Structure 1
Amino acid sequence: MRDLVYTAFMSLDGVVDSPGGGPGEEHRSGGWVFKDVEFLPEAFALKGEELAETTALMFGRRSYEAFAPTWRDSQDHAAYKDLPKYVVSSTISQDSLVDGWGETTILRSTTDVAELKKGEGGAIFIHGSAELARGLSDAGLIDRYNLLVFPVLLGAGKSLFSDADRERQRLRLRDSQGYPNGVVKLLYDVAG
């Protein structure tokens, strides 16, 4: 069974939308990760730790379309180039996939994601893709959350968590650490 890990920069009020403020991020507070918080390398060390554990990447359509052309040519993301990638979308076509960024498979439903998880291999990391994460969480398919929570309240934007009336889901703290710039690392396993 493969673990599905959602990783995100998140505001204290739960917004995961537009942290970098790059193209395709029209959120009025886009770029919030770097605007109001001092950069401390140790606060971002989690990203390197995740890279060592990542065996595949998963995206929703919009996040794939934003990340793939940029990450394909980015030295910071070079280690992701040859990893298998999965795009969960009912609308994306094979012709829309980005060339030169490794093997990419389109999954059409949460059922396809559940089948993928049953296979052999290591952790699959989801970056961005807030709507996908909410749907997978509601379907009970997320195994872990790796969150860097920033000391900012955005008031608007895509929330990581659904407001659907669903069964309670317990989380078990795996690791946490606070940093002098106010960022807090929170790693949670989904306990049931």
Structure 2
Amino acid sequence: MRKLIAGMKVSLDGKYEGPESVADWVEAWSDDYGLMAEVDACVLGAGMYGGYERYWTSVQTAPDTPAWISGAPPTPAERQWADFIRRTPHYVLSATLDHADWPDTAFIRGVADLAALKQQAGKSIYLVGGGRTTAGLIDAGVVDELRLIVYPVIAGDGKALFATGGRRQGLDLRRAEPLGDGRVRLAYGIGG
């Protein structure tokens, strides 16, 4: 069975977005989790899909132009990730959406569809997010691993990754690695 690996960039106080609905402490949206060799599909929630599609399409079509979300040109690692996801199937978890401009995008309607996707042959699946989708799918028991990049900032007001009031969940630390600028990369196993 394929693993579902969630990856999130969070502040030290567990926020995935600040009060302006942006994680302004994140300088790049590249694959800092080391997932490219491990995954062959991406899943994201409907709330995140529109911005994700717009951001990565702009990186793919205008790789030297400042990105709307950061105001800076895409980094080399972001351009590499954009090339990877151009050829990677995407699945959007939504009960209502039924159209995507991004090629090779399909819709899954619920946890049962996601569980069925995990049963198909292939590499692991990257759960891109967003935050509510990630927390909800961890609560539903379908996420196998959680990878976090923790930034050395206390965001204060904003959206906390685990503010859903879900069930208590024990995690198994698999890796902890300091990165540049005080960031830490963590990998946790979820469940048995």
Query: Does TM-score exceed 0.5, indicating one fold?
Result: yes
Query: What TM-score do you get using the length of structure 2 for normalisation?
Result: 0.79
Once the two structures are superposed, residues 97-156 of structure 1 have per-residue CA deviations (whole angstroms, 9 ceiling, x without a partner) of 01xx43111011112112211221111112231111111011001111111101111122
Once the two structures are superposed, residues 69-104 of structure 1 have per-residue CA deviations (whole angstroms, 9 ceiling, x without a partner) of 22134241111111110000112122xx01xx4311
- Correspondence list, 1:125-164, <5 A: 125-164=126-165
Q: What secondary structure is seen at the aligned counterpart in 2 of 1:33?
A: coil
Alpha-carbon distance in 1 for matches of 2:4, 2:57 = 22
Alpha-carbon distance in 1 for matches of 2:117, 2:13 = 32
Please tell me whether the aligned partners of residues 85 and 104 of structure 1 are also in contact (alpha carbons under 8 angstroms): yes
- Correspondence list, 1:25-104, <5 A: 26-27=20-21, 30-34=23-27, 46-47=32-33, 49-75=34-60, 76=79, 77-94=82-99, 97-98=100-101, 101-104=102-105
CA deviation after TM superposition for structure 1 residue 45, in Å: 7.1
Please tell me whether the aligned partners of residues 86 and 105 of structure 1 are also in contact (alpha carbons under 8 angstroms): yes
Alpha-carbon distance in 2 for matches of 1:180, 1:109 = 38
Relative to structure 1, is the Cα distance of residues 53 and 102 closer, same or farther in structure 2, using a 3 angstrom cutoff? farther
Alpha-carbon distance in 2 for matches of 1:121, 1:45 = 20
Alpha-carbon distance in 2 for matches of 1:165, 1:129 = 16
Please tell me whether the aligned partners of residues 72 and 78 of structure 1 are also in contact (alpha carbons under 8 angstroms): no
Alpha-carbon distance in 2 for matches of 1:191, 1:61 = 26
Relative to structure 1, is the Cα distance of residues 165 and 16 closer, same or farther in structure 2, using a 3 angstrom cutoff? closer
Alpha-carbon distance in 2 for matches of 1:70, 1:81 = 12
Identity of aligned residues (%): 34
Please tell me whether the aligned partners of residues 136 and 166 of structure 2 are also in contact (alpha carbons under 8 angstroms): no
Which one-letter code corresponds to 2:36 in the other structure? L
- Structure 1, unmatched stretches of 5+, are 19-24
What residue in structure 2 maps to residue 121 of structure 1? 122
Across the aligned residues of Structure 1 and Structure 2, the Cα RMSD in angstroms comes to 2.2
What residue in structure 2 maps to residue 178 of structure 1? 178
What residue in structure 2 maps to residue 107 of structure 1? 108
Query: What TM-score do you get using the length of structure 1 for normalisation?
Result: 0.79
Between the two proteins, the alignment pairs up a number of residues equal to 171
Alpha-carbon distance in 2 for matches of 1:61, 1:67 = 10
Please tell me whether the aligned partners of residues 141 and 191 of structure 2 are also in contact (alpha carbons under 8 angstroms): no
- Structure 2, unmatched stretches of 5+, are 61-78
Q: What secondary structure is seen at the aligned counterpart in 1 of 2:36?
A: helix
Please tell me whether the aligned partners of residues 71 and 78 of structure 1 are also in contact (alpha carbons under 8 angstroms): no
Please tell me whether the aligned partners of residues 16 and 160 of structure 1 are also in contact (alpha carbons under 8 angstroms): yes
